[in-house]
Amino acid sequence: MATVHRRSAGEWIFDHANIFFLAFLCFVMLYPLYYVAVASVSDGNQLMAHTGPLMAPLGFSLAAYRMVFNNSMVVRSFFNSVYLVIVGTSVNLLLTSFAAYVLSRKRVYWKNLIMVMAVITMMFHRGLVPFFLTVRSLGLLDTYWSVILGFAISAYNMIIMRTYFLTIPDSLEESAKMDGANDFTILFRIILPVAKPVVATMILFYGVGRWNGYFYVMIFLRDRLKYPISLVLREILVANSADSMVGADGAGDMGDTERIADSIKFATTMVATVPILVLYPYLQKYFVKGAMIGSVKG
């Protein structure tokens, strides 16, 4: 007969304190996003006059979203970001997979030395000026390749993927070798399909970094037509002005822009945030497994 465990008063207090703390933590993390979403569909005049917490839209209005999507600069920057994420993440994943595969094979000479060199790059950051001069000397300035190739591989992510590859049984590689498979076949047809969790984790890490990155894009790109959405959003938020919504294409007039300036900032923030929020649920089921196995095993 099973025994019933009665919780003591201390256990009851501890459990409920944890519940309260986690609920409070969720509220602290989710409320800013909720505030931005609600403010983006609020009436501009009422939003300007409002102070304090915002729990519901103030006079529902989609004027800010209409102005955002009618602005050619925002639309173009959105697709620029999509291009950077797709191409950049593909390059990241390809090169990281190559490096992780090589450094996880037992027969590779000098792999320990290469690992030490990779770890050193994590401890000592490159200087901004030498980095800029290198990009300029390679003729990559004012091109997307300056940020794609400049951040083609992360030592931290490579170590995570390498550690995951080490957990894959050697028998898979040995049997493939007996059937005449080369290293490319083993990597793309055996290792990577088995390592879906860590691949999804890398896509999430690199993709979010590509989507949100703006600093080096701001330094290397001169043509405004090449700006990603993160840089356009920075201009709107840091300059505390939505004047960029008024362009030569007649996307809006100055009077309308000033009236709903705050709503435009929140609407642009939502446009820049929602794609990542939509992507995460599809990768979340692999994320925890890939990150944990890739980071704790030797």
> What's the rounded Cα separation, in Å, for the pair 119 and 137?
26
SS3 content of the chain, % helix, strand, coil (to 5): 75, 0, 25
CATH number, domain containing residue 267: 1.10.3720.10
Whether residue 115 lies inside any domain: the answer is: yes
The number of folded domains in the chain is 1
> What's the rounded Cα separation, in Å, for the pair 50 and 65?
20
Whether residue 291 lies inside any domain: the answer is: yes
Are the C-beta atoms of residues 122 and 156 closer than 8 Å to each other? yes
Q: Which of 76, 46, 73, 70 is nearest to 58 (CA)?
A: 46
Placement of tokens 């055996």 in the chain: 190
Whether residue 32 lies inside any domain: the answer is: no
Whether residue 122 lies inside any domain: the answer is: yes
State the pTM of this model: 0.80
What local confidence, expressed as pLDDT, does residue 298 receive? 46
Q: What's the token pair of residue 278?
A: 């939509």
Q: Which amino acid is at 103?
A: L
Q: What is the 3-state secondary structure (H, E, C) of 35-46?
A: HHHHHHCCCHHH
Whether residue 121 lies inside any domain: the answer is: yes
Q: What is the pLDDT of residues 170-223, one digit of tens each?
A: 888 888 888 888 889 989 988 998 888 888 889 888 998 899 888 899 999 988
Mean pLDDT, the chain, rounded, equals 83
Q: What average pLDDT score do residues 3-23 get?
A: 83
> What's the rounded Cα separation, in Å, for the pair 283 and 216?
27
Residue span of the structural domain in which 218 resides: 72-298
